[in-house]
Structure 1
Amino acid sequence: MINIFEVNETNKMIEQEKLDVRTITLGISLLDCADSNLDSLNKKIYSKITTLAKNLVSTGKEIEREYGIPIVNTRISVTPISLIAGQACKTPENFVSVAKTLDKAAYDMGVNFLGGYSAIVSKGMTPADENLIRSIPMALSSTEWVCSSVNIGSTKTGINMDAVKLMGTIVKETAEATKENNSFGCTKLVIFCNAPDDNPFMAGAFHGVSEADAVINVGVSGPGVVKHALEGVRGQDFEVLCETVKKTAFKVTRAGQLVAQAASERLNIPFGIVDLSLAPTPSVGDSVAEILEEMGLESVGAPGTTAALALLNDQVKKGGVMASSFVGGLSGAFIPVSEDQGMIDAVNRGALTLEKLEAMTCVCSVGLDMIAIPGSTPASTISGIIADEAAIGMINQKTTAVRLIPVIGKEVGDMVEFGGLLGHAPVQQVNKFGCSDFINRGGRIPPPIHSFRN
């Protein structure tokens, strides 16, 4: 049982070290909304979301006031739309109408984002999957709160290279469609390998088909808390370092568990998981990069960075698992560039390259996240980066993802502003050698030998 005394222990973390509950995410199944008539489908979707989520934002504010724990976002995730809209949506334009319905529901409920404009195509694409994917540039340029994701591979199925090729083009088209706003649409588009069903974090959240009709998932974050704890053990050995991270992660997760249970009880919706992910913000002192540098690195990107991140990720998960019986989602450390001032500084000083970031994704929570690249980058190169990241996830049986922003009209060294939690980012250099012949082969990369288990 969790009580208020445990929360009191976190007061200093909240007041001085930027501990927060990053999101309460309400997952909603739309499987029972499927309909062959587009108007009827949209009405059912809007009705179900607004019925279940009507008290979501107010409940979050109540919990925030009562416990004094900042709740930064309230969000909604829904069943991947390609699975429920295929009967009614025969063209990309049809799917865009569903995106606009989702956007209206998100606006009317007052949430920050709504995820699930998604397709799961790790082994192949149905006509509905392909139509949704082709609609993404239109959908993200004509909505404000809708987020999209596409799962193009898994350890069990391999990598769908036809989908990888298509997603390179879709990322470019989304950048073009939103070029008047620094290609902002790409900040709401994630390409996954091994996507989890219970991820509360945007832009990749969707409500998996294995989930209940509705569920509450909570994402907790506290990079500043971990950094402050490590300042107290500066220079001590790795055993002390690991124990400090683990104990801190335990305390942070317990605060998230309390919020999750309270939200579940008040909304009368089952509690799903707590995701303890050290997700940074652009605020000074809320940086994963600064944690790694506190461990002894002169700068993120220096030799030893991947080892330090592996240690951090593992100890965060160990502490979280001890604090809650239901830890899930993407728990670990995020390394988005634009959302982490320490990462931005490392890029600007020449210490952190795209290639080093890729190496770090072998051991971090997700993958290449919120990275601005030149708008002139070819679609085939973007597909190649997606394929590389998917291969890391497939071989290592972990979730990996790509959220690249090819900012139209910008080149290496330019700074791009996205605003809010999305921050700002320097445009990074991309390898100029091509891979189009590889990407154009078509077909599927088979799963690794160790996937053959039954």
Structure 2
Amino acid sequence: MEKQKIIDTIQMISEEKLDIRTITMGISLLDCITGDTRATAERVYDKIMKKAAHLVQVADDIETEYGVPIVNKRISITPVALLAGADPHPDFRLIARRLDDAAKALGVDFIGGYSATVQSGSTPADELLMRSIPEALSMTDRVCGSVNIGSTKAGLNMDAVRTMGQVIKDLSATGATNAMKLVVFCNAVEDNPFMAGAFWGVSEGDTAINTGVSGPGVVQRALAQVPHADFAQVCETIKQTAFKVSRMGQFVGKVAAERLHVPFNIVDLSLAPTPAPGDSVAEILETMGLGSVGAPGTTAALALLNDAVKKGGIMAAERVGGLSGAFIPVSEDGRMIEAAAAGQITVEKLEAMTAVCSVGLDMVAIPGSTPASSISGMIADEAAIGMINAKTTAVRLIAVPDSKVGDTVEFGGIFGRAPVMAVNPASSAQFIARGGHIPAPIHSFKN
């Protein structure tokens, strides 16, 4: 039995592109607050350098010893907006620079947490951070940011939605690759190890390890072995596969945590695709019987997949968290790219799919001429889906400068390429200009 498990794991890694997508160390920076942003930035740098000094080496050692690919090594931190302290004029760009310095010195791929959580309202520090995002993310290479503008409990902060529409447009104008480092959330989770939206919430401990596991190819190959199965058997096949993948994620995470002398926190079992052949969530849906992702039935197939992945994963790991389920980033999924370029999937169909997947409109390229108010409208639509359904939704849009529908923007590596997709040309300006707050739904009241 143990021999067969080893054989199965080797096959999943070598033939089906199973990997640990990320080992992410969460680090609380609340004890770095001084009241002076410049001094805080230095303390932030020092703590990250101390806590994560051996993160990359440990991950590399585990990869070599066990033959398990570990694609990214990352750090998530306390939302930077909370680090203003008593500084009356905080310059968060100072912290952004030192975060980037630390990431480069340590050799980690990304550091997430240039963030604010403003679902109930914005402090002056939150406002400053949001407006600083275009400059901060364009002048750094490895810093990622996020803003949580709504929740099921609090409703939607439409003033922040309006601000973030302009922020995305301004950030995109500095370069498409800069815009992919920013996510706008509703119901953001505090233990998410995936970028660009990772941050280390205030309810988390001082330091811990989270792992993010991915295996679209493993699930697709398993389903291909049961081409005539009914949906009950399809669900069971996905659950059993997700169980195997999650066990590997927990094993690697626990080994890393033990060697780094920090607690192990959660496994995030997210089917995160890449542009490589055989590593596609869209291909899983097509293996279920869809002629193309985007065809009628796509949302139902994705709902089945997302639920079965979570059911299998939660039985395999002590703690499953993050955004576990299935991701549908357009640029990072080879079949999704092809379907979007062929017009088989649209922004509107993607929005419908986000009601049942793990995230939202992810890595979607739109024309640079798209008004900021329309971008805000897209954020509001996604946030409303999350708020009403008590789930995490997110927007990672790239308003590609000087582009038109049908053009392609190249990101490179696991970030792939994205066809520029059409946005409904009708105006959202008057709606977004109202400002204020959309109240939480009636079912949010649980006290």
TM-score, normalised via structure 2 length: 0.98
The code of the aligned residue for 1:62 comes to D
1:115 is the counterpart of 2:108: no
Shift of 1:308: 0.1
Aligned to 1:256: 249
Aligned to 2:388: 395
Shift of 1:247: 0.3
| SS of residue matched to 1:10 | helix
Residue number among 158, 172, 183 corresponding to 2:155 in the alignment? 158
Q: Deviations over 1:270-323 (max 9, x none)?
A: 000000000000111100000000000000000000000000000000000010
User: Does the CA-based 8 Å contact 1:96-1:139 persist in structure 2?
Assistant: yes
Aligned to 1:138: 135
Aligned to 1:409: 402
Shift of 1:141: 0.7
The code of the aligned residue for 1:417 comes to E
Shift of 1:7: 5.0
User: Does the CA-based 8 Å contact 2:148-2:186 persist in structure 1?
Assistant: yes
The code of the aligned residue for 1:378 comes to P
The code of the aligned residue for 2:258 comes to E
Partners of 2:58 and 2:15 in 1: how far apart? 25
User: Does the CA-based 8 Å contact 1:7-1:67 persist in structure 2?
Assistant: no
Partners of 2:177 and 2:23 in 1: how far apart? 24
1:98 is the counterpart of 2:95: yes
The code of the aligned residue for 2:336 comes to M
Q: 1:82 to 1:72 in 2, by over 3 A?
A: same
| SS of residue matched to 1:9 | helix
Partners of 2:98 and 2:3 in 1: how far apart? 40
| SS of residue matched to 2:180 | helix
Shift of 1:97: 1.2
Aligned to 2:174: 177
TM-score, normalised via structure 1 length: 0.97
The code of the aligned residue for 1:56 comes to L
Shift of 1:8: 4.8
Aligned to 2:59: 60
Alignment of structure 1 residues 187-266 onto 2, 5 Å: 187-266=180-259
Structure 1 stretches of 5 or more lacking a match?
none
Shift of 1:126: 0.2
Aligned to 1:80: 79
1:442 is the counterpart of 2:435: yes
Aligned to 2:277: 284
| SS of residue matched to 2:247 | helix
User: Does the CA-based 8 Å contact 2:144-2:197 persist in structure 1?
Assistant: yes
The code of the aligned residue for 1:83 comes to L
Shift of 1:89: 6.6
| SS of residue matched to 1:369 | strand
Q: Deviations over 1:119-138 (max 9, x none)?
A: 00001100000000000000
The code of the aligned residue for 2:431 comes to F
Structure 2 stretches of 5 or more lacking a match?
none
Partners of 2:98 and 2:5 in 1: how far apart? 41
Aligned to 1:12: 11
Aligned to 1:147: 144
Aligned to 2:69: 70
User: Does the CA-based 8 Å contact 1:366-1:400 persist in structure 2?
Assistant: yes
User: Does the CA-based 8 Å contact 2:36-2:85 persist in structure 1?
Assistant: no
Alignment of structure 1 residues 379-390 onto 2, 5 Å: 379-390=372-383
User: Does the CA-based 8 Å contact 1:278-1:334 persist in structure 2?
Assistant: yes
How many pairs were matched up? 446
Shift of 1:344: 0.7
Partners of 1:446 and 1:433 in 2: how far apart? 25
User: Does the CA-based 8 Å contact 1:281-1:339 persist in structure 2?
Assistant: yes
Aligned to 1:356: 349
Kindly report structure 1 stretches of 4+ aligned residues shifted beyond 4 Å.
3-8
